[in-house]
Structure 1
Amino acid sequence: MDKFWAHLIKVQPDPDPWVVVVSALVALVIVGFRMPWQVSRGLITIAHEGGHALMALLTRRKLEGIRLHSDTSGVTLTRGRPTGPGMVLTALAGYLAPPLLGLGAAWLTEQGHITLLIWGVLLLLVCMLLLIRNLYGALILLVTGGAVFALIMYAPADVQQVVALVAAWFLLFGGVRPIIELQHKRRRRQARDSDADQLARLTVLPGGFYVFFFLLVSLTSVAFGAYLMNPL
């Protein structure tokens, strides 16, 4: 255990500045273009639903399971009071989870704790797998977890560092785009049961306020994440 702990918390040297810049550009291309975004958006959904699930547990709601769908949507099933702070916080957590996770990943990469970051991601995926209630969701988590495990076991340290940087940027950028897409759907009245609209029904504030709040947190996370990973 001592050897494993030492391996877990070892600090890697800072990446070359060009590696950080290229990683950011790769993540921006993935999020900004339609085809790679459609392929990778499910990873943001995993983080989104994981945020709902974690907050449900923290607020002592009964967590009944998570479903991930092939159209990259998802749902977290909880049971408890239909109103109150626990329900509000659970609904808030979804869109906030990807950018905040990205900010945490940015901080860990800046500190050189790449190994700790990757093992942490694997642990979160395993925990979510225990809560999945549909076959497609289980398959996606097994594939993603298998890729992360292979990265731990077989990839050299410099490759792990690059993947961690891309992942951090991807979570930061990928946390913004779903919020913009949400607002577009709300304008066309295609998202009546979105997190923002559920929050509007739970509180006195309109759904647009929550969209703005989600976007504010996401953009702030991008700014601070970029500051932390700034190669200069």
Structure 2
Amino acid sequence: MQNATARLLDSGNVAALIAGLVALVLVLNRGTWLPLRNVVTIAHEGGHAVVALVSGRKLNGIRLHSDTSGLTVSTGRAHGPGMVFTLLAGYPAVSLLGLGGAWLVTADRERWMLWGCIVLLALLLLAVRNAFGVVSVLLTGGAIGAVSWLASPSWQALCAALLCWFLLIGGIRPISELGRKRRRGRAGDSDADQLARLTGVAGGVWMFLWFLTGLASLLVGGYWLLLMPQV
């Protein structure tokens, strides 16, 4: 415990804290959030796609739209666990991806984290079915690739930490946005509402579970990032 506290207070980890503050500003500021929200949408739809495949459904394609919304289409049973888990996966996928990345950064494996993102984006690209989606995935992968190939190890660690913070914090904001839309009656076909119709469990319960997952991921992942090796 004392060693962990000492590392948290180490001046070398101020960079990790600054990266977290920058990510917070990027998420809270409307001007930066709107374009960067596409990164969150990519992770969200990727979560739907992965769970759809794992649950035995056929993945038909993914569409990413300029308004930062997305759609993952899969075929299989209209009811049952496969459909439920597919719908359930989108929102937690963003936070859990950030949590996994934070673990790698803390273990001094930020290059693995960056290359893992590139591989996942390349696989996702195979399923994207519209031009805007292709451009979004290519731009995101290109930015991460540039850091992996051109940046020094210190900058790789800092950029990886920034990406993790962004996913951890950015994974929570869409849940609050969905809550506002549902209160205004503008999200009748959201993941939460579809889950409610399939399971009989209120959409608000699913949103609460997503929020708890996001908050827990942020607390654990943030703690890990603040323990990352000096940059």
Q: TM-score range by the shorter chain?
A: over 0.9
Q: In structure 2, how many angstroms separate the alpha carbons of the residues matched to 1:201 and 1:150?
A: 44
Q: In structure 2, how many angstroms separate the alpha carbons of the residues matched to 1:189 and 1:70?
A: 22
Relative to structure 1, is the Cα distance of residues 156 and 15 closer, same or farther in structure 2, using a 3 angstrom cutoff? farther
| Aligned 1:176-215 pairs, distance under 5 A | 176-215=172-211
Q: Percent identity?
A: 50
Give the deviation of 1:155 after TM superposition: 1.1
| Aligned 1:1-232 pairs, distance under 5 A | 16-231=12-227
SS at match of 1:67: strand
- The gaps in structure 1 that reach 5 residues or longer are 1-13
SS at match of 1:76: strand
Q: In structure 2, how many angstroms separate the alpha carbons of the residues matched to 1:230 and 1:151?
A: 21
Normalised to the residue count of structure 2, the TM-score between the two structures is 0.92
Give the deviation of 1:145 after TM superposition: 1.3
The answer to whether the 8 Å contact 1:67/1:76 transfers is yes
Give the deviation of 1:15 after TM superposition: 8.9
Segments of 4+ moved more than 2 angstroms: none
The answer to whether the 8 Å contact 1:175/1:218 transfers is yes
Give the deviation of 1:204 after TM superposition: 1.7
1:108-142: CA deviations, max 9, x gaps?
A: 11101011000000000000000000011011111
CA RMSD of superposed structures (Å):
1.3
Aligned residues: 219
Give the deviation of 1:230 after TM superposition: 2.5
